[in-house]
Amino acid sequence: MCRARINCVLVLLCESAAMHTAPPTARTPCPPRPWWATWQGAALVSLTLAVPLLWPIVPPLTDIYGHLARFAIITRIDTSPYLHRWFTIEWRLSGNLGVDILVALTGKVMGVVLATKLTLIATVIVTALGILLVAREAHGRIPPTAFFALPLVFAMPFQFGFLNFTLSVALAFMAIGVWMRLDRLERRTTRALLFVPVGIVLWVTHIAGWGLTGLAIFAIELVTARRREAGFARVLWRAGMASLPLAAPIAIMLVQPNAPSTGIAQWFNWDLKLFYLKAVLRDQNMAFDIISTMLLYGLILCGLRGAGFRMEARLACAAGFVFVAFLLMPGTVMGSAFTDMRLLPCALALAILSLSPVTKIRRRLTAIAAAALLFLGIRLVVQTVSWVRIGALQTEQRAAIDHIPRGSRVAALVALPCETLWSSARMDHLALMAIVRRDAFVNGLWDIPSSQLSIHRPDAQGFVYAGSQALFPVGCRYDEAYSRARALATLPRGAFDYLWLVDTPKQDWPADARLRIIWSADRAVLYRILPTMPK
């Protein structure tokens, strides 16, 4: 009932906006475009988003090492003498394969690390181009306010390293822009035929990106239909029929055999949702990130109040739909965490893209563009510096891998800060890099039902899956009983050759005659697990 009421309110708001907004085709001749409103300028600005990714060999994203490990297994399991002992790859069609497929095709040639890095660089550039394409199609030219949306490319989902999802968002914005362009050109039959395969590609890349695209396009079509039709039912029918080509993946899901699922969790966790609202641009500097986020909210508020900015009805409606989806979505779906949080930056981006300045004075428009580009530049500089710093810390920790023989079995334990702490060195899955470089087995790799990767290590008992490596301080553990002492006491030592303590201060290193130090640094140590007690 609650969802139905919210949807009805959104439809009415979209209808109202459509009635009070001029159709996009009713344009007056425009003066020559300033450089930032040209495609050359848009391309140049989009390319700058690759800068933070250029320096680190491995971009310091929280989950990236888990992805790299999976990619290494996928590309080398048939040739490695070790990986097939512990892992099995069974490809199945699912809505979470985007970067997996790309790296599987290119990783054997250039290596999975470089292939992943190039994919990430392409992702941020395509996302930026897609964002600016949507703005251009909505307003007839790129408004200066559109550049305020570009820092959202590096929002929390990107920082967490949700690679398939972020790639799907890049494709989603491109798809929305193309959809609006074909509507402007009145090539709707071509659009309907094109978006059947587009919907399938989006779904295969990541199901959330496909859902985001469908939701935004349905909202856009609601406003478009209201301009052409009268009556609530006819508007809904027309919008639904126009969006139908994107529904092709539904048929795929219906004919697929039932896949195992870990279910749904964290419904309506309002404390978390409120945290996400202020942490959209969360990276390493809490004050800077929150002030940046508040600036974006301030711009949207100005648009809602008509204070210097107007909002384009179609994108405003799409932003509202995606924001309501963020409010209603659970936190975990089919083993995929932070499902709701992923949608929030997209809602904010659509809201900002709906904005355009009321003024037509060229000097003022240029000032707004300069402010937006300055904001983007500062965010990129701070992002680059923080990633260089984190990358250096991670490189120091990864030096342990040089002392691990190929094909070893490694038990890793990582000392992590509380998740409520704003900044982090993002060591959560760093030890999995030993799989990439040494064809080792390391605990902590994801083995979710929707994945093509399976792990078979019954001898390792509880030290296999994601979470077995994570040690949080007292007071912020998921399992209050799970500590370093308990992990060491319950570790099945016969199942592992080495113990690697990541980002752990020396005072917390165990003194155990069955553990021999092979390598150490200020905050890391690698032990050889001795098979028997020395005499």
Which of 354, 386, 418 is the last residue before a domain boundary?
A: 386
Which pLDDT belongs to residue 160?
96
Q: Could you list the residue range(s) of the whole structural domain that residue 196 is in?
A: 2-21+46-55+91-254+269-386
62 occurs within a structural domain? no
Do 188 and 312 have their domain in common? yes
Q: Which residue has the higher pLDDT, 81 or 22?
A: 81
Dihedral angle, C-alpha 479, 481, 483, 488, nearest 10 °? -120
- 483-515 pLDDT, tens digit per residue, is 999 999 999 999 999 999 999 999 999 999 999
Give the predicted TM-score (pTM) of the model. 0.92
Q: Predicted confidence band at 359 (pLDDT cuts at 50, 70, 90)? A: very high
pLDDT mean across residues, the chain: 90
Evaluate whether 153 touches 147 at the Cβ level (below 8 Å).
Answer: no
Decide which of 386, 415, 435 is a domain's last residue. 386
pLDDT in tens, 437-448: 999 999 999 876
Nearest Cα residue to 423 out of 385, 453, 373, 449: 385
Q: Are residues 214 and 305 in the same domain?
A: yes
pLDDT band at residue 21 using 50, 70 and 90 as cut-offs = very low
In a domain, 81, yes or no: no
- 430 and 352 within one domain: no
Q: Which of 436, 509, 486, 516 is nearest to 82 (CA)?
A: 436
User: Looking at the structure, do residues 380 and 439 belong to the same domain, yes or no?
Assistant: no
Residue 68 inside a domain? The answer is no
Residue 176's pLDDT is 98
Same-domain check for residues 449 and 382: no
71 lies in a domain?
A: no
Ranges of H-type helices in 22-63: 39-48, 51-54
Q: Are 388 and 381 in contact (CB under 8 A)?
A: no
**Are the beta carbons of 411 and 499 closer than 8 angstroms?**
yes
- Residues 134 and 204 occupy one common structural domain: yes
Look at 264 and 406; give whichever has higher pLDDT: 406
14 and 145 fall within a common domain: yes
**Residue 359 and residue 327 share a domain:** yes
The reply to whether 262 falls in a domain is: no
Domain boundary among 332, 357, 386: 386
Is residue 127 situated within a structural domain? Answer: yes
pLDDT at 258: 58
- Indicate if 345 and 412 belong to the same structural domain: no
Please indicate, yes or no, if residue 35 is contained in any of the structural domains.
no
Q: What is the mean pLDDT of residues 232-256?
A: 91
What is the pairing mode between strands 470-471 and 453-455? unpaired
Domain co-membership, 11 together with 122: yes
Same domain for 413 and 495, yes or no, is: yes
CA dihedral 151, 43, 109, 167 (to 10 degrees): 40
Structural domain includes residue 67: no
pLDDT in tens, 82-138: 999 999 998 888 899 999 999 999 999 999 999 999 999 999 999 999 999 999 999
Flag whether pLDDT at 480 surpasses 90. Answer: no
Encoded tokens for 21 = 């907004």
CA distances from 329 to 252, 267, 432 (A): 23, 7, 31
- Beta-bridge mates of residue 519: 526
Model confidence pLDDT, tens digit, residues 141-159 = 999 999 999 999 999 999 9
Number of domains in the chain: 2
Whether residues 197 and 325 share a domain: the answer is yes
335/376: higher pLDDT: 376
